[in-house]
Chains A and B, each alone.
Chain A
């Protein structure tokens, strides 16, 4: 369980361009939840993420993960990194080793694991991201295609076997199929069980489809928290924050506003099609 209490962070404190990035944020995430975080650029999302695995220290407030206070200065950072894995935007830009296997092994090595376990984790995490271990392990990561590089970079974080996996825009810049593949891969890891996944995305369709709950950030504050249905039923407020609705939700809410009998919030194209068809049948 992740408990965030009254978290506040200020950049360049005391300087003329001081900037409050997150302010007084409190929430909890249960173990095994799939959480989405949405918010306009500059809403404080990435500052929040960096606190969740100890890369940034708050000005005030605390984060406790399964009883471990990661904001306490006495907590060893390596214990935090074991618990929380963070995949940054465009993670392929952090690859550096001569071979794919060596690069994926970087994280587990830093955790000080025995060599046998490192090897096993490297193998299983490369397979978990849908790549063929035997044919890829000795290739330079820089020889791979963009989509493959991204998978290798994700494998590098999975290999640390964190209980909590955080991904910042993991599908940025990919074509529709590659986008879908990465999402399925994340869902696959999640379904294996026991993991908490936090996904940051600008793509509302993805958030609506796959998350159990959604956090909405606005101007450094936590503006909403709830199930996708609860959050996306507040379309007007989201629009004021510069956020869009999932396409299906947008279309059905416009139809509802025009007088069509659609009572529930539709998150996917399938749900919308069923609801619209039903409403049409009722009127005819």
Chain B
């Protein structure tokens, strides 16, 4: 069901992680992802896993929520596993016709699987612990040095804010339109590809019109509330670096050092 999607959801809280400067969190997440790709041995993942566990515990986000974030990508993970198990050549452990499982295949599959799960949980923690506005403010602040070369940092951030706000609204709208057309006898499930593609027209046209109407209404409402670009805008929650952020940066640097050390030593 459409309403079960939790992509990019925020879990309100007051933890140490929630309060960190979003800029630190964004950079840390990016570096964490790079670190996962630097790792060559399972020991590296143990370091990452311990760090991730610590963050989850401190953040107070229920594990239920974290699993929910994994659900939509389970298919992708499963696909990666299968490809790796069967495609990699090496010492054969089991064979049936052209299908074979090798020791190397199993190892690589496990390795990729763990890497993907750690990556998704790590990045979903960023959205779970950062309010949408914080996230976009953070991105805006990080991108603002590039404004000099013509990058519209504020506009990009505002677009993200609005996208996050209206994804649920548009999903609901889609659900309504699909049902209304089904009630008029529309059939989206049978027929060949061309027929099915054609069957989408009665959904897409009203959906586009809806999206345009929302955009028009919203633009009007934003103007009425004195939105005129980023002239002298202030923020209710200013992003400021504090001692907490310094401590977090040091801890994170220690984590990176361990990843690099284990890569060099092992």
Is A106 part of the binding interface, using a Cβ–Cβ cutoff of 8 Å?
Answer: yes
When the two chains form their complex, are residues A160 and B184 in contact, meaning their CB atoms are under 8 A apart? yes
Tell me the nearest residue of chain B to A112, going by C-beta: B185
Contact of A157 (CB < 8 Å), options: B1, B183, B205: B183
Is B202 part of the binding interface, using a Cβ–Cβ cutoff of 8 Å?
Answer: yes
When the two chains form their complex, are residues A106 and B206 in contact, meaning their CB atoms are under 8 A apart? no
> Which chain B residues lie closer than 8 Å to A91 at the CB level?
180
CA distance A160 to B180 in the complex (A): 14
> Which chain B residues lie closer than 8 Å to A28 at the CB level?
none
CA distance A141 to B146 in the complex (A): 46
* A88 with B209, Cβ < 8 A, contacts A110-B186, A110-B187 known: no
When the two chains form their complex, are residues B201 and A157 in contact, meaning their CB atoms are under 8 A apart? no
Is B181 part of the binding interface, using a Cβ–Cβ cutoff of 8 Å?
Answer: yes
When the two chains form their complex, are residues B181 and A94 in contact, meaning their CB atoms are under 8 A apart? yes
> Which chain A residues lie closer than 8 Å to B177 at the CB level?
93-94
Q: Which of A10-18, A196-204, A226-234 contacts the other chain?
A: A10-18
CA distance A81 to B187 in the complex (A): 11
CA distance A50 to B178 in the complex (A): 12
Is B4 part of the binding interface, using a Cβ–Cβ cutoff of 8 Å?
Answer: yes
Is B176 part of the binding interface, using a Cβ–Cβ cutoff of 8 Å?
Answer: yes
> Which chain B residues lie closer than 8 Å to A156 at the CB level?
184
Please encode chain B, from 176 to 203, with 1 for each CB lying within 8 Å of some chain A CB and 0 for all others: 1101111111110000000000000110
Tell me the nearest residue of chain B to A81, going by C-beta: B185
When the two chains form their complex, are residues B187 and A12 in contact, meaning their CB atoms are under 8 A apart? no
Chain A interface size, as a band, is 20 to 34
> Which chain B residues lie closer than 8 Å to A62 at the CB level?
none
Is A53 part of the binding interface, using a Cβ–Cβ cutoff of 8 Å?
Answer: yes
A48-96 CB contacts (< 8 Å) to partner B: 50, 53, 55, 77-78, 81-82, 85-86, 88, 91, 93-96
Contact of A55 (CB < 8 Å), options: B3, B183, B205, B206: B183
Is A142 part of the binding interface, using a Cβ–Cβ cutoff of 8 Å?
Answer: yes
A96-138 CB contacts (< 8 Å) to partner B: 96, 106-107, 110-111
- Closest chain B CB from A202 CB (angstroms): 18
Contact of B180 (CB < 8 Å), options: A16, A82, A88: A88
Please encode chain B, from 153 to 165, with 1 for each CB lying within 8 Å of some chain A CB and 0 for all others: 0000000000000
When the two chains form their complex, are residues B182 and A55 in contact, meaning their CB atoms are under 8 A apart? yes
> Which chain B residues lie closer than 8 Å to A16 at the CB level?
64
Interface centre among B4, B183, B185, B186 (most CB of A within 10 A): B183
- Closest chain B CB from A224 CB (angstroms): 27
Interface centre among A77, A96, A142 (most CB of B within 10 A): A96
- Closest chain A CB from B175 CB (angstroms): 11
> Which chain A residues lie closer than 8 Å to B29 at the CB level?
none
When the two chains form their complex, are residues B184 and A110 in contact, meaning their CB atoms are under 8 A apart? yes
When the two chains form their complex, are residues B185 and A107 in contact, meaning their CB atoms are under 8 A apart? yes
> Which chain A residues lie closer than 8 Å to B64 at the CB level?
16
Tell me the nearest residue of chain A to B182, going by C-beta: A55
> Which chain A residues lie closer than 8 Å to B4 at the CB level?
12, 15
CA distance A160 to B183 in the complex (A): 10
When the two chains form their complex, are residues A111 and B185 in contact, meaning their CB atoms are under 8 A apart? yes
Is B108 part of the binding interface, using a Cβ–Cβ cutoff of 8 Å?
Answer: no
- Closest chain B CB from A232 CB (angstroms): 30
> Which chain B residues lie closer than 8 Å to A96 at the CB level?
201-202, 205-206
CA distance A233 to B179 in the complex (A): 36
- Closest chain B CB from A32 CB (angstroms): 22
> Which chain B residues lie closer than 8 Å to A82 at the CB level?
185
Tell me the nearest residue of chain B to A16, going by C-beta: B64
When the two chains form their complex, are residues B205 and A88 in contact, meaning their CB atoms are under 8 A apart? no
> Which chain A residues lie closer than 8 Å to B185 at the CB level?
78, 81-82, 106-107, 110-111, 160
When the two chains form their complex, are residues A94 and B180 in contact, meaning their CB atoms are under 8 A apart? yes
CA distance A50 to B179 in the complex (A): 9
> Which chain A residues lie closer than 8 Å to B184 at the CB level?
81, 94, 106-107, 110, 156-157, 160
Residues of B within 8 A of A (CB): 1, 3-4, 64, 176-177, 179-187, 201-202, 205-206, 209-210
Closest 10 CB pairs of A and B: A110-B185, A96-B205, A94-B180, A107-B184, A86-B183, A81-B185, A88-B180, A96-B202, A55-B179, A96-B206
* 7 chain-A/chain-B pairs, Cβ below 8 angstroms: A12-B1, A16-B64, A55-B182, A91-B180, A93-B176, A106-B185, A110-B184
Known contacts A53-B183, A88-B183; can you find 15 more A-B pairs with CB under 8 A? A12-B3, A16-B64, A55-B182, A55-B183, A77-B187, A81-B182, A86-B183, A88-B176, A91-B180, A93-B209, A94-B180, A94-B206, A96-B206, A110-B186, A156-B184
